[in-house]
Amino acid sequence: MNAPGIEVRNLSVHFGQRSLFERVSFSLPGGQWISLLGASGTGKTSLLRIIAGLASPSSGTVTASDGLPLAGRLAWMGQKDLLYPWLTIHDNVALGARLRGEKVDRRRVEALLQQVGLAECAHRRPASLSGGMRQRAALARTLYEDRPVVLMDEPFSALDTITRTRIQTLAASLLVNRTVLLITHDPLEACRLSHRLLVLSPLSGGIDDSHHLCGLPPRAPDDARLLNAQAQLLQQLVRAQG
Ligand SMILES: Nc1ncnc2c1ncn2[C@@H]1O[C@H](COP(=O)(O)OP(=O)(O)OP(=O)(O)O)[C@@H](O)[C@H]1O
């Protein structure tokens, strides 16, 4: 998959008199996983929504590195699984195709459910699944869309530690070579999964990308370098809050 990078240039967002951030610029390399961190209220979701084209900035631009429009090349996965309770898991995975009036590729749905470990659950409704299973179904739905750019807003935050670690590993393998921007409050998750980190902070003039991660993701949970990176990131986040 040829996933484009994303160029964010001089982005400013104001809500009335209040400035959320001013002239923020950064680049997301194509095919890499980037995590976006920062204190609550610094504007991470607002930034993600602007990149997704769901909101407009006060000024500035978001473009794809290949010069083509980003619209139609993005998938979104949020904290809530947003599964339709009256549809089966199979039909939820194919929801995008159904809403667009396209023919559903049933084989592809089945293959994805197999990959996320839900092959046996295809005909069940979301209410009969655990939170971790529902998030895996949401991941399968995101993958069904097969978009080169995936924006994720704290998709794993409500899961218990073990389930979260498993689904992180699964997502890392299934989203390889896509351009992924993940909002997370979890330094360990960010350091495990990312090629690069971005910290949104008014104190650093917008974005701080100074944190360097060794090796390639996904990093093993018991990798000493991962634990060291996590500790450094935690300190950086504390400093960023002032
Ligand atoms: N449409 C809007 N109109 C006015 N204010 C808004 C709007 N959208 C967001 N805000 C405000 O902008 C600020 C940043 O919100 P945002 O959700 O982007 O932050 P965040 O960094 O994602 O926070 P969290 O980590 O808590 O999810 C908040 O104070 C929020 O109330």
Q: How would you classify the pairing of strands 206-208 and 196-201?
A: antiparallel
The pLDDT of 159-188, averaged and rounded, is 90
Name every protein residue with a CB atom under 6 angstroms from any ligand 1 atom: 15, 20, 38, 40-46
Rounded mean pLDDT of the chain? 91
Ligand 1 midpoint to CA 144 (Å) = 29
* DSSP type of residue 9: E
Which of 20, 47, 48 to probe ligand 1 with, by most ligand atoms within 8 A of CB?
A: 20
**Ligand 1, atom 3, residue with closest C-alpha:** 15
Q: Is residue 117 part of a domain?
A: yes
**Ligand 1, atom 7, residue with closest C-alpha:** 15
Cα-based distances in Å from 36 to 3, 53, 62: 19, 18, 16
Condensed to tens digits (0 to 9), the pLDDT of residues 131-167 reads 889 988 999 999 899 899 999 999 888 888 888 888 8
Ligand 1 midpoint to CA 19 (Å) = 11
**Is residue 46 very low, low, confident or very high in pLDDT (cuts 50, 70, 90)?**
very high
Q: Is residue 121 part of a domain?
A: yes
Ligand 1 midpoint to CA 233 (Å) = 23
pLDDT of 239 higher than 90: no
Q: Is residue 104 part of a domain?
A: yes
Residue 74 confidence (pLDDT)? 94
Ligand 1 midpoint to CA 79 (Å) = 15
Evaluate whether 167 touches 131 at the Cβ level (below 8 Å): no
**Ligand 1, atom 25, residue with closest C-alpha:** 40
Condensed to tens digits (0 to 9), the pLDDT of residues 20-33 reads 888 999 999 999 99
Ligand 1 midpoint to CA 105 (Å) = 37
Q: Is residue 211 part of a domain?
A: no
Residue 85 confidence (pLDDT)? 94
pLDDT of 196 higher than 70: yes
Residue 111 structural domain: 81-146
Question: Which atom of ligand 1 lies nearest, measured to the CA of 48?
Answer: 18
The pLDDT of 209-237, averaged and rounded, is 90
Which of 14, 24, 46 to probe ligand 1 with, by most ligand atoms within 8 A of CB?
A: 46
**Ligand 1, atom 8, residue with closest C-alpha:** 46
Residue 3 confidence (pLDDT)? 95
Query: Percent of the chain, pLDDT > 90?
Result: 64
Ligand 1 midpoint to CA 15 (Å) = 9
Q: Is the dihedral of CA 6, 26, 217, 92 positive or negative?
A: negative
What domain count does the chain have? 1
**Ligand 1, atom 9, residue with closest C-alpha:** 46
Query: Percent of the chain, pLDDT > 70?
Result: 99
Q: Is the dihedral of CA 86, 92, 96, 98 positive or negative?
A: negative
Residue 75 confidence (pLDDT)? 92
User: Furthest-apart CA pair in the chain: how many Å?
Assistant: 53
pLDDT of 203 higher than 80: no
Q: Is residue 139 part of a domain?
A: yes
**Is residue 174 very low, low, confident or very high in pLDDT (cuts 50, 70, 90)?**
confident
Q: Is residue 134 part of a domain?
A: yes
ipTM: 0.94
Q: The pTM is what? A: 0.92
Q: Is residue 183 part of a domain?
A: no
Ligand 1 midpoint to CA 43 (Å) = 5
pLDDT of 204 higher than 70: no
Q: Is residue 127 part of a domain?
A: yes
